[in-house]
């Protein structure tokens, strides 16, 4: 159905422009809308009165409904109030927040950590701050890093050199060609890529960084809580290798917020220069309490992590048997790559009719010709749920 917006009695002068832009988005098959929804246990979701298997959200361990997170969020709210009131540089920092950052640093195996509101805010403000400290640095980024990283580079006014996805040889070539005469070098990547579920060779990346005297920055948004020892992420498997780690609490840890972990000097510097920290209202106590509770739970959820890995292996096997491309996924994120935007939308609609929600991901989020369903599995789901998904994907092919 073509995009049509209700016309108010006093339309803004802007409206004709945005309506035209929306119509163009719709014509390209890329119009997005929000729909009423409620998260349910066991990897289910209720949307517009109907219950579905949820293969779209990032609540990988089901912690968003865990009673301990709700209890701790309420406890912190009762003790500290509903809001922080301002930036921490204005109102100060309580002992509980400092203790929580120390817990995050210990969880990540780093000297220090600093809280941010979101992963987007962290990447988009930390990267410019880093480049301010390293004027003229050569920036080498995996071509598929999150949009927030690209935004951070752009905000710094820096030119980036994009290396082919997870291609360490290409990265090394760029560092030799573009970074040789630069005063510093910065490498940006992710440990689990959100649209492909794959990841780089962190050991080799660390070797390359050392050989070229480069700083390695890794986004762990989709690995935190799910992968690595005690759910500490994949950077925890290569201690001492990664200089800067960013991650979030709004995915596997079931709450809200983000962190940057690294040296004490790094966090002290970001406290002074990362605009997303300096000029943003600090996280509310409820979010902090939920983070604190999640850190109590996640290290002991090895069984849930193993089950989640088994679900992903089962899905990849089923897609392989159907002859459907699923990339190089190593995680709970498994892409069902169909190519065309219309094909991805049609498959998502067929699954929805079968009682399953799997978002169709289209350009510009993914490159043209690689539209897909991004399957995000949950520890509360079963092998039977995955088998039903594979059967539904294979039907009417």
pLDDT tens digit string along 5-46?
Answer: 555 555 689 999 999 999 998 888 778 888 888 999 999 999
| pLDDT tens digits, one per residue of 165-206 | 999 999 999 999 999 999 999 999 999 999 999 999 999 999
What pLDDT was estimated at residue 34? 84
What fold characterizes domain 43-61+302-379+389-394?
A: 3.90.1150
Report whether pLDDT(1) > 80. Answer: no
| pLDDT tens digits, one per residue of 67-115 | 999 999 999 999 999 999 999 999 889 899 999 999 999 999 999 999 9
pTM: 0.92
What fold characterizes domain 67-299?
A: 3.40.640
Q: What is the mean pLDDT of the chain?
A: 95
Positions annotated as catalytic residues are 58, 146, 190, 194, 219, 222, 251
Per-residue pLDDT, averaged over 230-248, amounts to 97
In 3D space, the residue among 265, 217, 206 whose CA is nearest the CA of residue 240 turns out to be: 206
What pLDDT was estimated at residue 131? 98
Domain boundaries, given as residue ranges, for the chain:
43-61+302-379+389-394, 67-299
Residues 264 and 43: their CA atoms lie apart, in Å, by 38
* 332 Cβ contact partners less than 8 Å away, ≥ 6 residues apart: 60, 197, 226, 308, 309, 311, 312, 376, 377, 378
- Coil, strand or helix: which one is 171? helix
What pLDDT was estimated at residue 29? 74
């Amino acid at each position: 159905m073509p995009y049509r917006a209700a016309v108010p009695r006093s339309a803004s002068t802007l409206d004709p422009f945005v309506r035209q832009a929306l119509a163009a988005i719709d014509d390209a098959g890329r119009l997005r809308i929000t729909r009423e929804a409620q998260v349910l246990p066991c990897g289910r979701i209720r949307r517009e009165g109907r219950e579905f298997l949820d293969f779209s959200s990032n609540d990988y361990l089901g912690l968003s409904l865990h009673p301990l997170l709700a209890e701790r969020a309420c406890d912190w709210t009762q003790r500290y109030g509903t809001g922080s009131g301002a930036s921490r540089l204005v109102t100060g920092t309580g002992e509980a927040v400092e203790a929580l950052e120390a817990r995050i640093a210990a969880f990540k195996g780093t000297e220090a950590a600093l809280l941010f509101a979101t992963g987007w805010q962290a990447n988009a403000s930390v990267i410019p701050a880093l480049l301010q400290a390293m004027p003229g640095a050569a920036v080498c980024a995996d071509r598929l890093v999150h949009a927030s990283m690209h935004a951070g580079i752009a905000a710094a006014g820096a030119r980036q050199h994009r290396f082919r996805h997870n291609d360490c040889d290409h990265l090394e070539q760029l560092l030799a060609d573009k970074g040789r005469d630069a005063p510093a070098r910065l490498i940006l990547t992710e440990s689990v890529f959100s649209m492909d579920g794959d990841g780089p060779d962190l050991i080799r990346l660390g070797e390359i960084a050392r050989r070229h005297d480069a700083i390695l920055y890794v986004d762990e948004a989709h690995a935190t809580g799910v992968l690595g020892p005690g759910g500490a992420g994949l950077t925890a498997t290569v201690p001492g290798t990664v200089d800067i780690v960013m991650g979030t609490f709004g995915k596997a840890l079931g709450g809200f917020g983000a962190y940057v972990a690294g040296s004490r000097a790094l966090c002290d510097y970001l406290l002074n220069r990362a605009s997303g920290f300096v000029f943003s209202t600090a996280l509310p106590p409820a979010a902090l309490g939920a983070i604190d509770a999640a850190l109590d739970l996640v290290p002991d959820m090895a069984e849930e992590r193993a089950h989640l890995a088994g679900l992903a292996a089962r899905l990849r096997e089923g897609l392989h048997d159907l002859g459907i491309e699923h990339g190089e996924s190593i995680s709970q994120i498994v892409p069902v790559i169909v190519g065309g935007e219309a094909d991805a939308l049609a498959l998502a609609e067929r699954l929805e009719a079968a009682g399953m929600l799997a978002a169709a991901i289209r350009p510009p989020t993914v490159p043209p010709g690689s539209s897909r369903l991004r399957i995000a599995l949950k520890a509360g789901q079963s092998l039977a749920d995955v088998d039903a998904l594979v059967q539904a994907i294979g039907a009417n092919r």
